[in-house]
Structure 1
């Protein structure tokens, strides 16, 4: 294995792991008072909160587990990307530039890093 491929694998699994550690446990706290108040604060309906929590949990699992097909991983990246961009817009629209507006951007950066290294590894068939 070349040094470049090894470095790419480390970056891929680190960025994907950090992303999964942020996304997957959130599902288990979706019913918490803080999560429900945060959704209400943004003006989103309760059904959307649950739908998004379940979808993010599934998307996080698809990214972290290696046996899922490439096409399904692509859709997980797309869905999570839309989620992070939408969260950024929603937080800015409601709270302005204060608060945790940067949190979805940080997650989006890890998502893009994971996505680009995933494709580098897939092109080299070293995934």
Structure 2
């Protein structure tokens, strides 16, 4: 695959992934009632966890968008994927058929694609 194509795909997947993660972080940071109801009311997590996880998601999304800093970027990808995997598992564990855990497959796929193309981009530019 050409270097230009790899870079374009990397930025498309990364921008979409960061947009989704920031979009889910903002309601958590400001503790919107819908976020509190979903995370605390339905899943049972403590109230102090909601803004914490929101700030962590926002920092992770910013970290994957900033060029350079490969070690921070690796940690950001890991943290965001852990968050999504934990959210998916939490939704699967509650006995509510309305809990659409399969929606989390989209950001998981975007995160995996972004990460894969991040490493392809690194490899293509190193040559």
TM-score (norm 2): 0.88
Q: 1:125 to 1:97 in 2, by over 3 A?
A: farther
Aligned residue pair count = 123
Task: Could you tell me which runs of 5 or more consecutive residues in structure 1 were left unpaired when the two chains were aligned.
Answer: none
Task: Could you tell me which runs of 5 or more consecutive residues in structure 2 were left unpaired when the two chains were aligned.
Answer: none
TM-score (norm 1): 0.88
Matches of 2:12 and 2:118, distance apart in 1: 12
CA root-mean-square deviation: 1.6
Q: 1:33 to 1:118 in 2, by over 3 A?
A: same
1:99 counterpart residue number: 99
- For residue 8 of structure 1, the aligned residue among 6, 19, 23 is 6
Q: 1:95 to 1:9 in 2, by over 3 A?
A: farther
Instruction: Please list, as runs of the form range in 1=range in 2, the aligned pairs for 1:115-126 lying within 5 A after superposition.
Output: 115-125=115-125
Asked if the contact 2:88–2:102 (Cα under 8 Å) also holds between the matched residues in 1, the reply is yes
Instruction: Determine helix, strand or coil for the equivalent of 1:8.
Output: helix
